[in-house]
Each structure stands twice: as structure tokens, then as C-alpha cells.
Structure 1
Amino acid sequence: MKIAADRLLGFALIGLAAFVAVQAINLEVPFNYEPVGPRAFPLGLAILLAALSLALVFKPGPDGHWPHGALALKLLLVLGLLLVYTMLFTRLGFIPTTFMVVAALAWLFDATWGKALIAGALMAVGSFFLFTEVLGIALPTGYWLNAII
């Protein structure tokens, strides 16, 4: 039974990857990005998702059990944190939102608060630098920072 569920999930994820790829290709940008445009990142994720989904279809995992108890609660909290991330991303900006969510995720998976805050700061600043300086992708600074500047 689990093998059929794995394959069904794999096909559903391939459909999601196709949807993301079509949306990325249809993305209209009013100005030119150099060297990498805004289509590259979602297209790359769609390709990766499709490849991993094919692996799930052709080589399903062994039978397993649904998570329960503390692990199920942690997974629901991860989902909630990712939803909060998407809602606050443009309002607060990339760096503060990424900092808060990464720190919360690290703490959720048993890091101390000190290590979680360090991980959040390093991930937020490091990924901001990677996206803006290396890849040339503009990220939101947040409405609050725009009001100050």
C-alpha cells in the first residue's frame, strides 16, 4: 500500500513541478536582470522537484508509518512557520523574516537559543549576499525599511 502512495505522491509532485515551471516561464519582468533573471530560481527548483519526484515514482521507499506525537506537531509547526514566512516576506523584508524563521526552525529541532540565533543571522545575511551580489537577484527590504530610507 505504501508503494502506491509513494508513486501517487511522486506523480502529484511532478504535476506541481510542471505548474511551477509554467508559472516561471510566463513571469513577465518590466526590466532586464543581469546575469540571472527571476525565472532561473523557480525553474531550477521545478527541475529539482521533478527529478526527485521521478526517483520517488521509480524507486519508492520501504513501508513506513505516519509520524505521530511530537514529530507530527513539529512538522505542523514547520508548515506554519513557512506560511508565516510567505506572508511576512515582502512586509518585513528578506533579512528579518529569514532570520526569524531560520532561528525558530533551528530551535524547533533542538538547537539552543544561542545557536538558533547565530544560525538565523548567518543564513539571513549569507543568503541575502548570495542572492543580491552573486546572483544579482533583487530581494525585498521590507516596507518598514523603505519608510526609514
Structure 2
Amino acid sequence: MSDLAKPVADRLLGIVLIGLAAFVAVQAIHLDVPFSYEPVGPKAFPLGLAILLAGLSLVLVFKPGADGHWPHRAQALRLLVVLGLLLAYALLFTRLGFVPTSLLVVAALARLFGTTWGKALITGALMAVGSYVLFTAGLGIGLPTGTWLAAIL
């Protein structure tokens, strides 16, 4: 890839991401909730993410990077595994529940990046339970317990 093409690729990606941010913002604005949230409604989070994405995308447009090297084969495979784990997390989140799914995915990610199985499982358990408590008790957000647990109870 020539030096001229590198900034073009970054700028093109930045423009596409600005379009994605605009799409998310429009969808968030049109989000209709039947009851009121105080002080911040459900529109705030996607709007905030859209603004952050647009701002960071502008950096790509106006200050493109100079490095355009593709990752080595092992690193590319690791990135694909991370993508697969995140996809599995999204698919299993409601079926398996927040805590078990988070524990498994965080442990797998920790293991993928070189930690031992023991440390990976401890990290997964602490992250899963800690974030569950933070979301449910601290923020009052209900998280799925999983359909398998509902069937047992």
C-alpha cells in the first residue's frame, strides 16, 4: 500500500463511521419509551456513543495514521477469536444469563491473552459478579438470569 493510499483508507473508514454514528443517533432520537426515566432516559446512552464515535471518526478523517500494516497471522487469528467470543456473548447473553456468560467469555479472553486457567477463572468470576452487582444494585438495571435458570426455578 502506498503512502498516499494509507490516509485515504483511514479517511474512508472515518467517513463510514461518521455515517454509522449518524444512523445510531437518528435511531436513538426516534426511540419511544412508554414511561419516563429520571434523570436520564434510554436515549442518552446511544446518543452519547454516537457522539463519541463521530468525534473519534473525525480524528481519522483529519489526522489519518501513517501505519497501514496488516497484523501477522497469529495476531489476526487472535482478533478473529475475540470477535467470535463477543458474538457468542451476544447470542448466549439472554439464554445462559449475564453472570455465567460473562464469566465464560472473560475467562476465555483472559486465557487467550496468556494468563493461566486459574487466574482466568478468578478474573472471570470477579468481573461477572462485580459487574452484576454494579448494574443491578448500583444502577438499578435488571440483567437476564438465563432461561436455563428460570426453567430450574
Question: What TM-score do the two structures reach when normalised by structure 1?
Answer: 0.87
Structure 1 residue 30 displacement after superposition: 4.3
Q: Report the CA distance shift for 1:131/1:19 in structure 2 as closer, same or farther (over 3 A).
A: farther
SS of 2:105 mapped into structure 1 = helix
The 2-side partners of 1:137 and 1:34 are apart by 13
SS of residue in 2 equivalent to 1:106: helix
Q: Secondary structure at the residue paired with 2:69?
A: coil
Q: 2:136 aligns with which of 132, 137, 147?
A: 132
Amino acid at match of 1:96: P
1:51 aligns with 2:55: yes
**8 A contact 1:106–1:116 mirrored in 2:** yes
**Distance in 1 between residues matched to 2:118 and 2:147, nearest whole Å:** 28
Q: CA deviation at 1:78?
A: 0.8
Alpha carbons of structure 1 residues 96 and 40: separation in structure 2 relative to 1, 3 Å: farther
Q: 81-90 or 109-118: which moved more?
A: 109-118
Q: Does 1:92 align with 2:96?
A: yes
Change in Cα spacing, 1:17 to 1:56, as seen in structure 2 (3 Å) is same
TM-score norm. by structure 2 comes to 0.85
Cα separation, 2, equivalents of 1:141 and 1:31: 24
Instruction: Give 2:143's aligned amino acid.
Output: L
Does the C-alpha gap of structure 1 residues 90 and 37 become closer, same or farther in structure 2, counting only changes over 3 Å? farther
| Aligned residue runs from structure 1 range 1-149, under 5 A | 1-149=5-153
Percent sequence identity over aligned pairs: 77
**Bigger Rg, structure 1 or 2:** 2
Query: Greater CA deviation, 123-132 or 75-84?
Result: 123-132
Matched length: 149
Conservation of the 8 A alpha-carbon contact between 1:95 and 1:125:
yes
CA distance in 2, matches of 1:41, 1:27: 12
Change in 2 beyond 3 A, CA 1:76/1:16: same
Deviates more, 1:139-148 or 1:36-45: 36-45
What secondary structure does 1:119 align onto? helix
**RMSD value, Cα:** 1.9
Q: Which ranges of structure 1 fall in alignment gaps of 5 or more residues? A: none
Residues 1:84 and 1:45: Cα distance change in structure 2 (over 3 Å)? same
Gaps of 5+ in 2: none
C-alpha distance in structure 2 between counterparts of 1:36 and 1:129, whole Å: 20
